[in-house]
Structure 1
Amino acid sequence: MATSRVPVVFIHGLWLHSSSWEPWMDLFTERGFDPIAPLWPGEAPTVAETRRQAENVAGYGIDEITGHYAQVVKSLDAEPVIVGHSFGGLITQKLLSLGLGRAGVAIDPAQIKGVKPLPFSQLRSGFPVLKNPANKKKAVSLTAKQFRYAFGNAIPENESNRLFEEYTIPSPGRPLFEAAFANFSRKSPASVNTANPTRGPLLLISGQKDHTAPDAVTRAAYALHAASPASTDLRQFADRGHSLTVDDGWKGIADYVLEWLSTKGVQGRAGMVD
Structure 2
Amino acid sequence: MKSSVAPIIVFVTGAVVTSACWDNWKFFFEEQGYACHAPTWPGKEAPAAALRAQHPHSPIAQNSLSDVLRVYTDFIAQLPAKPIVIGHSFGGLIVQLLLQQGTVAAGVAIESAPPLGVVVPSWTLVRAVLPMLGLFSSLQTTFLPTFAQWQYAIANGMPQSDQQAFYDRLAAPESKRTIRGALSRQARVDFRRPHAPLLFLAGGADRIMPAALNRANYRRYRHPGSITEYHELPGRNHAMLGQTTWREDAELVHRWLIKLPS
Instruction: Note whether the superposition's TM-score is higher than 0.5.
Output: yes
C-alpha separation between the residues in 2 aligned to 1:250 and 1:258?
12
Report what 2:176 is aligned to: 173
Contact 1:136 1:177 in 2 (8 A): no
Stretch deviating more after TM superposition (229-238 or 81-90): 229-238
Q: C-alpha deviations, 1:221-259, integer Å up to 9, x for none? A: 111113453100001012111010122221111111101
Unaligned runs of 5+ in 1: 183-187, 267-274
Change (3 A) 1:72 1:151: same
Q: C-alpha deviations, 1:101-133, integer Å up to 9, x for none? A: 100000001121121214111111113223533
- Asked if residue 88 in structure 1 is aligned to residue 91 in structure 2, the reply is yes
Q: In structure 1, which of residues 65, 68, 76 is the aligned counterpart of residue 68 of structure 2?
A: 65
Task: Give how far 1:200 is off.
Answer: 1.0
Q: C-alpha deviations, 1:125-156, integer Å up to 9, x for none? A: 11322353335443111111110111111322
Kindly report which structure 2 residues correspond to 1:154-173, keeping only aligned pairs within 5 A, or say none: 154-173=157-176
- Give the TM-score, by structure 2 length: 0.92
Change (3 A) 1:265 1:29: farther
Q: C-alpha deviations, 1:19-76, integer Å up to 9, x for none? A: 1111111111100000010000121232233223441211212222112211111111
- Asked if residue 139 in structure 1 is aligned to residue 136 in structure 2, the reply is no
Report what 1:250 is aligned to: 246
- Give the TM-score, by structure 1 length: 0.89
Change (3 A) 1:149 1:135: farther
Moved over 4 A (4+): none
Change (3 A) 1:76 1:189: same
C-alpha separation between the residues in 1 aligned to 2:218 and 2:225?
13
Kindly report which structure 2 residues correspond to 1:96-107, keeping only aligned pairs within 5 A, or say none: 96-107=99-110
Q: In structure 2, which of residues 250, 255, 259 is the aligned counterpart of residue 259 of structure 1?
A: 255
C-alpha separation between the residues in 1 aligned to 2:86 and 2:94?
9
C-alpha separation between the residues in 1 aligned to 2:261 and 2:33?
14
Report what 1:218 is aligned to: 214
- Asked if residue 234 in structure 1 is aligned to residue 230 in structure 2, the reply is yes
Report what 1:27 is aligned to: 28
Unaligned runs of 5+ in 2: none
Contact 1:9 1:80 in 2 (8 A): yes
Task: Give how far 1:265 is off.
Answer: 4.2
Alignment partner of 2:75: what SS? Answer: helix
C-alpha separation between the residues in 2 aligned to 1:34 and 1:254?
15
Report what 2:188 is aligned to: 191
C-alpha separation between the residues in 2 aligned to 1:189 and 1:209?
29
**How many equivalent residue pairs?**
258
> Aligned AA for 1:78?
A
Alignment partner of 1:133: what SS? Answer: coil
Percent of matched pairs sharing the same residue: 29
Q: CA RMSD in A?
A: 1.7
Contact 1:226 1:232 in 2 (8 A): no
> Aligned AA for 1:221?
N
